Amino acid sequence: MAMEAASPDFAVRAPARVDLPEQSLAVACVLTMSGGFLDAFTWLSLGGVFANSQTGNVVFFGMNVAVGNWREAAHHVPPILAFLTGAWVASRAKAPLLCLVGEIAALAAVLALLLMHRLPGPLAITGISFGVALQTASFRQVEHWKYISVTVTGNFLRAIDQLTSNADREAAHGARTMIAVCLMFLLGAIVGGGLTVRLGAISLIFPISLLVSALWLCRPLRFR
């Protein structure tokens, strides 16, 4: 469900540093696949609420308020607040790898408590949204381009901008990069939907594994 708005700087080409593996396409693809999975997981198993798509949560909140369905509207408030809190923490910390560890810890805690039947759905969504925000605010660049690791709308627009505003090889590479990221989000949603329906809470092992893989890919070049 693509409802995220693109930021106004979607056409900006950002400087890349070859010594920052967290800006590699491999890391972006793994993180984006995790993002697609988590939205599918929370929507299917935690009451039709998004972990990543806060625009979606705001829209559903507004629609339910409009018809006086206050209880349903309230379900969309905790993930919004948790996402804002996580983004604030990540922006203050300015430590992408530490924030990635924080997201892994948050998802692992949610998984453990869900398996023990000791965590209500709203609290599970809150924990996931907080962790997702740590990722979103910390990983914003893939190679030379800005991107969003937990949604596709902005990345679609970046791809179109690269295809239409330039005709050089670099622009074509940028478009392919954005399209690859979008396809990984779709793949994550497909896998997330299939595994969530079949396995329930235990399927959270998959995005946790993806995030651990991203952390491994982000290790300093001198340790490779």
Specify the pLDDT at position 103.
96
Question: Considering the domain boundaries, does residue 30 fall inside one?
Answer: yes
pLDDT digits (tens, 9 = 90+) for 109-136: 999 999 988 778 788 889 999 999 999 9
CA angle 145, 146, 149 (to 5 degrees): 120
**2: pLDDT strictly greater than 50:** no
Domain extent, residue 78, equals 21-217
Please tell me the pTM assigned to this model.
0.84
User: Quick check: is 203 in a domain?
Assistant: yes
pLDDT of 150 reads: 86
Tell me, yes or no, whether 50 lies in a domain: yes
Q: What is the CA radius of gyration of the chain?
A: 17
83, part of any domain: yes
Measured in degrees and rounded to the nearest 5, phi and psi for residue 146 equal: -75, 145
Q: State how many domains the chain has.
A: 1
Q: Where does the pLDDT of residue 92 fall: very low under 50, low under 70, confident under 90, or very high at 90 and above?
A: very high
Which CATH number belongs to the domain containing residue 55 in this structure? 1.20.1250
Q: What is the pLDDT of residues 52-61, one digit of tens each?
A: 878 888 998 9
* Residue 222: how many other CB atoms lie within 10 Å: 6
**Residue 5 forms part of a structural domain:** no
Orientation of helix 54-66 relative to helix 77-93, angle to 10°:
150
